[in-house]
Each structure stands twice: as C-alpha cells, then as structure tokens.
A and B are shown apart, each in its own frame.
Chain A
Amino acid sequence: MKTQTEKTSEPDLDALFAQARAHPPATEDAFMARVLADASALQPRADVRPVPRTRPRSGLWARLAAALGGALAVAGVGTAAMAGLVIGYVQPEPMVSLAGSIGFGMTESLDLLSGFDALLTEDVSQ
C-alpha cells in the first residue's frame, strides 16, 4: 500500500525521468575528439598488403638481347653475321686478288699439329 507521499510524488518522478531521457547530458566536442582519436589509434589495421610491383616478364629475345649487351650490340652482331655470309657465298673477286697479293693464296690443307703423327708412331714402335 502506497503512502500519501508516494501517491503525490511518483507522477512527478515519472515526469523527471521523462525529462532526463529527453535531455541527456550533452557531450563536448573535445571529449568526442579524444574518444575518436583513441578509436583510430587502437583500430586494428586492415590486413591488406600492397601488391608487390612486378616488372612484366620479358620475352626470350629481349632477354637474349640484354645478355648480349642490348639492342645495339645485337644489331652489330647481326650485321657482321650477314656480311660474313655474303662474303662467304659471293667470294667477290677483289677480295681474292687482294688475299693473293699479300701472300695468302688458296690453302688446300692446314696442319696445325705437325709433330703429333710422329709422336704416335714412336709410341707404337716401343
């Protein structure tokens, strides 16, 4: 059973509660900024690792050219090879006469190790 005091004051209490609900304590900007700063500072970082920048894989010819010293070197080697082929097949007359005039005639055979046969023969006789 309620007392006379409760009967008269409880409606007032409900009104006070309603007013308190309607007007919550206001937060200050500085407080909100501090909380947000904490939240940002302690937030786990997203597990997004940057994709490593890979250079595009070069092709076989590009790697071969790089091994030889670059495109310029490849061009030089190619030019020399083509010149050799041309000279070999065509055998231009000025080149043959030039070789003969300086003592390089046509060579039929060339013995680079002239004493090697005698060495083998001596070994067998023993």
Chain B
Amino acid sequence: MPRDAAAAPLSDEALLVLYANGDPGAARLLTQRLAPRAFGHAQRLLGDRAEAEDVAQEALLRLWRIARDWRQGEAQVTTWLFRVVANLATDRLRARTRRRAAPLNDAPEPASDQPAVVQTMIEADRMAALQAALAQLPDRQRQAVVLRHIEGLANPQIAAIMEIGVEAVESLTARGKRALSALLAGRREDLGYEDAD
C-alpha cells in the first residue's frame, strides 16, 4: 500500500534515512514535504517564481547528495534546507545588478466590481504589496521576518538557520517589522483595510 504524506508520522530525518537506504517511497514523501517549503521560502526571499524554483531545486539537489552522510541529531532537515535556500537566494540577490523589486504603487488595481473578484484582487494586492515591501528590506531582515512571521518558526530555529544568536534574531525581526510597517503605511485604503476599522 503506498504511503501517504499526510498519514506518515515519520520525521523528516527518519525519511531521509529511508531515502539514503534506497526506499523509493521516501523520495516521494520528502519531495512532497520539502519542495513546497523550499520553494515558498525562496519565493518570499526572491519574489521571482522562476528563480525560486531554481533555488529550491538546487537546495534539494544538495540534500539528495548528502543524504547518505546525514548526521542524525545534529540539525533538523528543515533548518538545513532553509539555510541553504537562504544562502542560494542571497547569492542570486547579490548577482542582480539592475533588476529591482517593483514599487508598491505598481500593485495592480481591482478590475472588476463583482464582490468576490474584488475581494480576490484585494487579497492579491495585499500579497503583492507585502512581497514588494519585503523586497525592500535588507537581506538579513527579510530572511528573519519571513522565517518568523510567514514560515512561523521559533526564534531558536531561526538562529540556527541564520547562524546567529537568538537576540540578534529578535533584533532583526523587530527592525524588519518596523520597516515593513513604514513601507506599508498609507496603503491601508488601497489594500482594502478601510472597512475593517
């Protein structure tokens, strides 16, 4: 009977051991679990789908290659993966010379008066605005904010991923949030928040 990712209670580390032992089901389960997370994190850091796919695929490629030598108990697979994704994304960001994130004002306007479509467009606007604001943060602040507030990781794990102390993580996330607030200030009405107050 094929194993289901949702029903499998095995940890990522256990699955990686199975993968290294040649279990074909482990390859599929790990892909289903890790590829969306790697891609999502890369997408938040880079803001570009094609580049995010490349980065996520490369990060996972490295994981497959070291699977046989993985040392259990030293680090979580996701911690290692987020670190590699962030490093690869940082390399790409540094390589960008002329490409810049779209300004906040470039977020698309709602094109329909139908309530459902309008709501969808508003949500898309909000996500586009958030992504554009994230893109304007310094790399380390962006990484810390994404890991803390979007990936939902705890500060100690973020510290392990970023290879810094917990206090430094707290500082980065606090400064990042303040910067995001400043960047998004004045767009409350544009983003459909006027009715909520």
Contact = CB atoms under 8 A, between A and B. Distances in A.
A110 B123 CA distance: 123
B67 A44 contact: yes
B24 interface: yes
A16 B185 CA distance: 13
A98 interface: no
B117 interface: no
A42 B89 CA distance: 23
A39 B31 contact: yes
Contact of A17 (B68, B150, B188): B150
Nearest to A7: B181
A107 interface: no
A112 interface: no
Interface in B14-54: 19-24, 27-28, 30-32, 35-36, 39-40, 43-44, 49, 52-53
B28 A24 contact: no
A13 B180 contact: yes
A118 B182 CA distance: 136
A40 B60 CA distance: 12
A114 interface: no
B27 A9 contact: no
B80 interface: no
Interface of B: 19-24, 27-28, 30-32, 35-36, 39-40, 43-44, 49, 52-53, 56-57, 60-61, 64-65, 67-68, 123, 126-127, 129-130, 149-150, 152, 177-178, 180-182, 184-185, 188, 191, 193
B150 A21 contact: yes
A126 interface: no
Contacts of B56: 31, 35
A39 B56 CA distance: 13
A27 B36 contact: yes
A46 B21 contact: yes
B27 A16 contact: no
A18 to B, nearest CB: 9
Given A13-B177, A25-B49, A43-B67, 15 more contacts: A6-B178, A9-B181, A10-B181, A21-B150, A25-B40, A31-B35, A31-B57, A32-B35, A34-B57, A35-B57, A35-B60, A39-B64, A44-B67, A46-B22, A48-B22
Given A27-B35, A35-B60, A40 B27 contact: yes
A43 B64 contact: yes
Nearest to B178: A6
Nearest to A26: B36
A20 interface: yes
A12 B31 contact: no
A14 to B, nearest CB: 8
Nearest to B64: A42
